[in-house]
Amino acid sequence: MSKNNFKTSFSKLFFVACVIFWISVAQGFTKEKTDRRDSRFLSSKPMQQTILALAQGECLQNRETLAAPEKFLSMANPLPLTEESINKAEALYQNQARPIACKVCHGINGDGKGDPDFESNPPARNFSCTETMKRLSDGQLFWIIKNGSPNTSMFAFSDLSNDQIWQLIHYIRRFSK
């Protein structure tokens, strides 16, 4: 194992250990769940999946985002995927979208790591996470971009045309490929 690979592996394991520690500490502060501090908590299936995903460098963003109305959920992007539409969407995402460019919150690479001064709970959506993006239909993304998402920092981009939103959806899906 090279020195850089060792550092990367060690960093991931250290991160996972810290996450486990803080989750178990947080569980201990919840009155109703004090019994979850024992090994049953760390050996639970959801926790094992979280630990494995973190160790593998994957992303998990479990959200309780409101579902779009039914008619939107089944919608597929009607625009063809062209270099021109990607270029237009990139300009929107990186600089031109108003009131704020998408990159400020979601990051230049769509990884959810935007401006360091941006704080959000929950954090901005990570578009580079393949598993997360598979779960989001085009219609759900369209609805969220157009109308925003309550109880998050995602506000409505209602001034964008439908075509601009569909172009953005093509663009943000490229982050997870």
Residue 162 lies inside a defined structural domain of this protein = yes
Residue 65 lies inside a defined structural domain of this protein = no
* Pair (127, 98) in one structural domain: yes
What's the confidence (pLDDT) of residue 120? 83
Residue 46 lies inside a defined structural domain of this protein = yes
| 140-177 pLDDT, tens digit each | 999 999 999 988 889 899 999 999 999 999 999 999 98
Residue of 63, 47, 50 whose CA lies nearest to 122: 63
Residue of 100, 103, 101, 99 whose CA lies nearest to 113: 103
pTM over the 0.85 mark: no
* Pair (90, 20) in one structural domain: no
CA distance 80 to 87: 13
What's the confidence (pLDDT) of residue 39? 38
Torsion angle in degrees (nearest 10) through CA of 65, 71, 73, 75: -140
- Domain span at 44: 3-55
What's the confidence (pLDDT) of residue 52? 43
* Pair (74, 126) in one structural domain: yes
What's the confidence (pLDDT) of residue 161? 97
What's the confidence (pLDDT) of residue 61? 67
Residue 61 lies inside a defined structural domain of this protein = no
Residue 146 lies inside a defined structural domain of this protein = yes
Q: Which stretches in the chain have pLDDT values below 70? A: 1-63
What's the confidence (pLDDT) of residue 122? 85
- Domain tally, the chain: 2
